[in-house]
Amino acid sequence: MPVLDVQHLNVSYRGRQGVARAVRDLSFTIHEGETFGLVGESGCGKSTVALSVMRYLPKQAEVTGAVLFQGRDLMEVPPAELRHLRGNRIAMVYQDPQASLNPVLTIEKQLVEVLMTHEECSQAEARRRAAAMLERVRMPDPDYILHRYPHQLSGGMQQRVVIAMALLLNPDLVIMDEPTTGLDATVEASVLDLLEVLRQEFKMAILYISHNLGVVARICDRVGVMYAGELVEQARNQELFAQPHHPYTISLLRCLPQRGTRHTDELLYSIPGRVPPLTDLPSGCVFAARCVLAEPGCTVRPPVLEAVNSQHIVRCYRWQAVHQQPALVAAAPAPLVKPPAADHNYLLSVKNLKVYFKQAAGWLGLGRRTDVKSVDDVSFSLSPQHTLGIVGESGCGKSTIARGLAGLTPITGGTVLFAGSDFSQPLEQRGQSALRQMQMVFQNPDSTLNPRHTIRKTLSRPLRRFKVVPPAQEREHIIGLLRAVNLDESYLDRLPRQLSGGEKQRVAIARAIAGGPQLVLCDEPISALDVSVQAAVINLLRELQQERQVALLFISHDLNVVRYLADQVMVIYLGRVCESGPTEAIFNLPSHPYTEALVSAVPEVNPTTTAQAVRLEGTVPSPANPPGGCRFHTRCPRKLGAICETHEPPAQEAGSGHHIFCHIPLDELAAMQTSKHPVSALTPHPSHGAGEQAGSPSA
């Protein structure tokens, strides 16, 4: 008997704009010890499925069909019994752990509450079991963590606490809705490793919802692809990614940057159009309007699910043609013109950049003020029309670098020369011309677009501020900006709430280029977008760079995107540069142990990949009290010994502007690559003595 058996589920919402048919005729099963993945763009109904299983749907929702949990229909379970099942037999892990944890209660109180609510046990016994579970999810020093509040933990630690909370009562089914979306690649890799171990240990069934195809390829046994509320394809993991049969599945996979493909080779594929509104679905195939293989018959009546084999079903009239010629679905776009060769006439030159923050210690903040060294002695340069990618874990100083350059955060020390001008000065001391030449695109357009301003007003402000065009030409110039970001004049009088996430980010980019800047600082501009929208935004940035001859400083934790887009890459750890150089050198031979760990943690879409990864233990130390010597030595899997703790690593030149800051000689670093010598975070350097330990992980 399956742990979860969803049969012909239909979910509709009644609203002012009509009936939104969020989920239609959905069926799937999950067995004990199995992970079933649901993928698709935003608005396809994935989260509605999760809420249906938990029966967390709002009152206006209309539900038909059956959701059988261990043979019992959850739609007919009385409320009192349903409360017992939630958390006890069925648990859910949400995307944002901060929304799941109470900020005013310690971790101990929140974990103990779960046990004492569902089971008859003493507080002492509940605390013991809570500490044991934190240890099982690989939390360093559980007793210390139990006394902390959520805000005192990193994002990865918060997510591990939420997972521990979900597993405390050994549930039979765990629903995970985008549980690793906001995590760094290293933390995400550790969480996925943990889920795999816990699944085997607890024999639980997992419903895993995500738009990250690499994560799904790595962790799931079977995968269902949803589009506009329907299941359009379902198969075993390896078969789905190796031989997809639905045009939508193929299109999603083609949106991802392929290993080895660069922006100089071709533009990324982006699915044209958008998901149709659920209140006005087409009469035929819901994907027909975006499908390059659609025929007149596709729009007459909806297709039904057909069996490719006993484990593979697909909803498409032309799935056999798609299987025979998948390249027809998403032909590669034409390549772009290569950027000019880099020279020493740099547009941006940064020397010994320091950005410190003052932090008060002690009770009520009355103690001695200490420096938080967010960015500490960072140097780099950027040529015109080139892209510099900056990567590293959260808290390493990436965004602080961008904010310091933009003047949003005061610079403590160092020099910043931009287009021949001194940009070390605070923002208020920079002239209008300087402000116009450097603009910024932030991670979340919702926090940067005024919700009360129309798109016309949003784009007119920089035009007037920088006196770009006369007032009589303003409207035509705004329309030109919208067209540059693949929007049209119908957006002029819309408000931000009337736009999708990708459209909002396009408006933010249009505002950034309105004054004709020479440099655009992009701080995680695609992290919250679907893969298709990500591809469109990346292509847009590349096209604008070519047409308007701008340079990009691109910050992201998605290393696949950085590999595709950047000409140069700089790896940051705890405010210091670990490695920098040409993109090919950084990714093809990641020499620094930290770079090696970052690159190896990136999930591959190919589920048959067997490359071993370096897993880092512990968390990034506080920039208020950084370790001495090499700042990475507390987590380094290749630590030499005392020299790493007492001496800053030298800059080693590997050729072509490739610099590695490490005590280990270059030839030894090259010989230690993961592909040759897989390591864990506790593997000592070959030169260690038999009894010498590598650096102990920080708590």
For the stretch 75-124, pLDDT in tens is 999 998 998 898 889 999 987 788 889 999 999 999 999 999 888 889 99
Give the span between the Cα atoms of 182 and 527, in whole angstroms. Answer: 8
Greater model confidence, 105 or 444: 105
Residue with tokens 């005024």: 450
- Element of type H or E holding 422: strand 421-422
Give the span between the Cα atoms of 421 and 435, in whole angstroms. Answer: 11
Mean pLDDT for 636-659 is: 92
Handedness of CA 423, 429, 432, 433 (dihedral sign): negative
Task: Say which residues have a Cβ less than 8 Å from residue 691's Cβ, sequence separation at least 6.
Answer: none
Q: Determine the pLDDT at residue 335.
A: 57
Q: What does pTM read for this prediction?
A: 0.84
Shared domain for 77 and 183, answered yes or no, is yes
Q: Determine the pLDDT at residue 530.
A: 82
Chain centroid offset of residue 123 CA: 38
Say if residue 259's pLDDT is above 80.
no
In a domain, 694, yes or no: no
Shared domain for 648 and 582, answered yes or no, is yes
Q: Determine the pLDDT at residue 202.
A: 84
Q: Determine the pLDDT at residue 432.
A: 81
Say if residue 64's pLDDT is above 50.
yes
Shared domain for 66 and 203, answered yes or no, is yes
Alpha carbon separation from 462 to 434, 502, 504 (Å, rounded): 13, 21, 17
Short-list 180, 236, 245, CA closest to 209: 180
Say if residue 611's pLDDT is above 60.
no
Q: Determine the pLDDT at residue 165.
A: 92
| DSSP state at residue 630 | S
| DSSP state at residue 153 | S
Residue with tokens 């697909």: 314
Say if residue 684's pLDDT is above 70.
no
Short-list 693, 670, 679, CA closest to 614: 679
pLDDT tens-place string over residues 501-545:
788 888 999 999 999 999 999 998 887 778 888 888 898 888 888
Mean pLDDT for 626-643 is: 92
Q: Determine the pLDDT at residue 581.
A: 95
Q: Determine the pLDDT at residue 343.
A: 65
Residue 276 neighbours by CB distance under 10 Å: 18
Which tokens sit at 36?
Answer: 């079933």
Handedness of CA 42, 44, 48, 52 (dihedral sign): negative
In a domain, 234, yes or no: no
Handedness of CA 564, 566, 567, 570 (dihedral sign): negative
Which tokens sit at 377?
Answer: 């002695």
Give the span between the Cα atoms of 632 and 596, in whole angstroms. Answer: 13
pLDDT tens-place string over residues 288-310:
999 988 899 899 999 999 999 99
In a domain, 688, yes or no: no
Say if residue 695's pLDDT is above 50.
no
Q: Which of 298, 328, 358 is at the close of a domain?
A: 328
Shared domain for 475 and 519, answered yes or no, is yes
Predicted confidence band of residue 698 (pLDDT cuts 50, 70, 90): very low
- Element of type H or E holding 381: strand 369-382
Using a 10 angstrom Cβ sphere, with 0-12 exposed, 13-18 middle and 19 or more buried, the burial of residue 559 is buried
Shared domain for 377 and 317, answered yes or no, is no
Handedness of CA 178, 183, 189, 195 (dihedral sign): negative
Cα-flanking dihedrals φ and ψ of residue 606, to 5°?
Answer: -80, 110
- Check if the beta carbon of residue 536 is closer than 8 Å to that of residue 550: no
Shared domain for 159 and 38, answered yes or no, is yes
Mean pLDDT for 431-460 is: 89
Give the span between the Cα atoms of 276 and 476, in whole angstroms. Answer: 30
In a domain, 324, yes or no: yes
Mean pLDDT for 151-174 is: 87
Give the span between the Cα atoms of 352 and 416, in whole angstroms. Answer: 9
Q: Determine the pLDDT at residue 369.
A: 67
Number of structural domains found in the chain: 4
In a domain, 287, yes or no: yes
Amino acid in position 412? T
Q: Which of 61-70, 131-140, 254-263, 683-692 has the lowest mean pLDDT?
A: 683-692
Q: Which of 569, 587, 617 is at the close of a domain?
A: 569
Alpha carbon separation from 588 to 260, 557, 583 (Å, rounded): 9, 18, 8
Predicted confidence band of residue 680 (pLDDT cuts 50, 70, 90): very low
Chain centroid offset of residue 141 CA: 28
Residue 148 neighbours by CB distance under 10 Å: 15
In a domain, 686, yes or no: no
Say if residue 334's pLDDT is above 60.
no
> What average pLDDT does the chain have?
86
Say if residue 671's pLDDT is above 60.
yes
Shared domain for 628 and 594, answered yes or no, is yes
Q: Which domain holds residue 578?
A: 574-671
Q: Determine the pLDDT at residue 608.
A: 66
CA angle 574, 580, 583 (to 5 degrees): 125
Q: Determine the pLDDT at residue 679.
A: 42
Q: Determine the pLDDT at residue 192.
A: 85
Q: What is the CATH number of the domain that holds 175?
A: 3.40.50.300
Shared domain for 13 and 154, answered yes or no, is yes
Q: What is the DSSP string of 309-339?
A: ETTEEE--TTHHHHHH-GGGTSPPPPPPPPP
Q: Which of 569, 591, 618 is at the close of a domain?
A: 569
Strand pairing report for 306-309 and 222-227: unpaired
Say if residue 394's pLDDT is above 90.
no
Shared domain for 552 and 582, answered yes or no, is no
In a domain, 144, yes or no: yes
Say if residue 685's pLDDT is above 50.
no
Give the span between the Cα atoms of 91 and 174, in whole angstroms. Answer: 5
Shared domain for 299 and 374, answered yes or no, is no
In a domain, 687, yes or no: no
Percent of the chain at pLDDT exceeding 90: 51
Shared domain for 298 and 384, answered yes or no, is no
Chain centroid offset of residue 405 CA: 24
Shared domain for 536 and 613, answered yes or no, is no
